[in-house]
């Protein structure tokens, strides 16, 4: 009898221990905006000066950690590839936005953040903009997501209104949906009518996912990739004219409201205390000049990068530096802030550390675990710099509060300027990157450039995957 009681007690302890371990894994909600400048949210000095308060965004920053030097890549696709894989976009063949159609995106050999979390016991969903492949074998459900609903990108919504598109007999842009193990299907057309509505639908679906998964045993990962504030800028009818300060303010108010509804859903479901919420973006603000559009009623509206110069598709801080806040109650110190360098690639290994996941060891991996830094256990980031890519070209390097550039482009429409000697900018004294201080600060180049040599040396052992490489992909033997 005693033996049986002892066995049952031991079994119960194992079960309780396993349940406790499962509960220790935090849920993760990753809110990823599109072309959202550093200077937009109130917590970075925007908000009311952009036409509307942003209380939900600001609350995330107040309740957690705000990073003022969070870096991404210069274009949508490489930025999303780097974030999902923990590897520079050049490594996976996703170093530029695809313009030629056909097969592109992530080969199935790549291991995404979702696959890492799936292996760690998570239920996963992707909602919104993907831009990492839009053919069979390249959808989110081929890369670790249990379910998805979303779009390739957003500027395609104007195509139907443009002269010659109908006669070109091209396939019209669609919203797709799918579940793992089954082919993706068309959910509906993605046109201008749905452009203004889609983020509301994404929010509703996010809340539904949170409500469903909060009742289940597994932790969940929700990648909520909103389509705003990418051109064309069309507010949802619920928010059209709500601020009285124009389209951009209406969309900013709309997006903040949606963020608030998602956070509120976590609280209502009773899982907020053990959920990591990340808020950031893929790129700096839009590059189109204000009012530039041949498509009525969708004139371009310029976003802001705050004190930083440049937009997406440039090598400047306005492109690379985006808003960032992360909240995890009682784990990440509330009200903390830092100007230490972090890159979106670092989220993969950091979330792996939070979730008990594994980081790939068989490939070049650029992400750095920032878990101790995020949790307040150390004052400094584990990263000092990043490589500044523009497509497949290296434009320079960033080291701490310095930028060393060999090439520079002020806008996506301006020609690239190459320098015989590099330009050096002090980002603390010169956020606009206008005052070249190469002399007398030549020592900065000597300190900053070795990271580039180390980075380039990795391609000898791990060659980059060519864009458009079909599946199955097998890396060359080292």
Residues 174 and 309 in one domain: yes
> What is the full DSSP assignment across 413-435?
TSPPEEEEEEEEEETTT-TT---
Structural domain boundaries enclosing 295: 25-384
pLDDT at 205: 99
Residues 300 and 412 in one domain: no
Query: Are the beta carbons of 314 and 411 closer than 8 angstroms?
Result: yes
Residues 363 and 407 in one domain: no
End residue of a domain, out of 384, 412, 441 = 384
pLDDT at 7: 38
Residues 341 and 429 in one domain: no
- Percentage of the chain lying above the pLDDT 90 cut: 86
Who's near 434: CB < 8 A, 6+ residues apart?
309, 425
End residue of a domain, out of 384, 401, 418 = 384
Where residue 374 sits, what CATH number does that domain have? 3.40.720.10
In order of 435, 442, 443, the CA distances from 446 in angstroms are: 19, 7, 5
Residues 339 and 229 in one domain: yes
The confidence band for 477, taking pLDDT boundaries of 50, 70 and 90, is confident
Query: pTM to 2 decimals?
Result: 0.93
pLDDT at 287: 77
The confidence band for 1, taking pLDDT boundaries of 50, 70 and 90, is very low
Total count of residues recorded for the chain? 478
Residues 352 and 364 in one domain: yes
Residue 252 covered by a domain: yes
* Structural domain count, the chain: 2
State the average pLDDT over residues 135-145.
Answer: 97
Residue 374 covered by a domain: yes
Query: Are the beta carbons of 141 and 148 closer than 8 angstroms?
Result: yes
More confident call, 330 vs 13: 330
3-state secondary structure 340-357: CCEEHHHHHHHHHHHHCC
State the average pLDDT over residues 189-215.
Answer: 97
For residue range 226-263, what is the model confidence (pLDDT) as tens digits? Answer: 999 999 999 999 999 999 999 999 999 999 999 999 99
Residue numbers annotated as active site: 76, 131
> What is the full DSSP assignment across 373-391?
HHTTS-SS-S--EEEEEET
């Amino acid at each position: 009898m005693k033996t049986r009681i002892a066995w049952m007690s031991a079994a119960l302890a194992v079960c309780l221990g396993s349940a406790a371990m499962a509960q220790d894994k935090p849920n993760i909600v990753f809110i990823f905006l599109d072309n959202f400048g550093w200077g937009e949210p109130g917590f970075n000095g925007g908000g009311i000066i952009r036409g509307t308060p942003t209380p939900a965004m600001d609350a995330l920053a107040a309740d957690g950690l705000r990073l003022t030097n969070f870096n991404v890549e210069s274009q949508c696709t490489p930025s999303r590839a780097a974030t999902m894989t923990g590897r520079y976009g050049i490594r996976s063949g996703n170093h530029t936005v695809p313009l030629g159609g056909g097969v592109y995106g992530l080969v199935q050999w790549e291991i995404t953040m979702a696959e890492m979390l799936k292996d760690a016991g998570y239920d996963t969903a992707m909602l919104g903009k993907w831009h990492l492949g839009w053919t069979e074998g390249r959808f989110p459900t081929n890369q670790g997501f249990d379910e998805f609903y979303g779009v390739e990108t957003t500027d395609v919504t104007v195509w139907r209104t443009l002269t010659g598109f109908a006669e070109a007999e091209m396939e019209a842009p669609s919203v797709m949906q799918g579940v793992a193990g089954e082919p993706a299907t068309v959910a509906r057309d993605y046109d201008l009518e749905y452009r203004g509505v889609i983020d509301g639908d994404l929010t509703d679906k996010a809340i539904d996912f949170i409500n469903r998964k909060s009742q289940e045993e597994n932790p969940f990962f929700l990648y909520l990739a909103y389509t705003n504030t990418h051109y064309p800028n069309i507010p949802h009818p619920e928010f059209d004219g709500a601020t009285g300060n124009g389209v951009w303010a209406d969309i900013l108010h709309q997006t903040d409201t949606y963020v608030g509804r998602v956070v509120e859903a976590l609280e209502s479901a009773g899982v907020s205390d053990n959920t990591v919420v990340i808020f950031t973006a893929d790129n700096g603000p839009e590059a189109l000049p204000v009012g530039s559009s041949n498509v009525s009623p969708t004139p371009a509206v310029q976003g802001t990068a705050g004190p930083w110069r440049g937009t997406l598709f440039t090598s400047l801080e306005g492109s690379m530096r985006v808003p960032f806040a992360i909240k995890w109650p009682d784990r990440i110190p509330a009200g903390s802030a830092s100007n230490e360098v972090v890159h979106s690639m670092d989220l993969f290994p950091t979330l792996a550390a939070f979730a008990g996941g594994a980081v790939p060891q068989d490939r070049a991996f650029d992400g750095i675990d920032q878990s101790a830094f995020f949790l307040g256990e150390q004052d400094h980031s584990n990263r000092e710099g990043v490589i500044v890519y523009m497509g497949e070209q290296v434009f320079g390097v960033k080291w701490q509060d310095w930028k060393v550039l060999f090439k520079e482009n002020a806008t996506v429409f301006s020609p690239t300027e190459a320098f015989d000697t590099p330009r050096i900018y002090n980002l603390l004294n010169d956020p606009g990157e206008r005052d070249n201080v190469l002399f007398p600060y030549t020592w900065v180049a000597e300190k900053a450039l070795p990271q580039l040599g180390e980075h380039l040396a990795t391609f000898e052992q791990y060659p980059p995957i060519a864009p458009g490489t079909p599946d199955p992909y097998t890396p060359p033997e080292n």
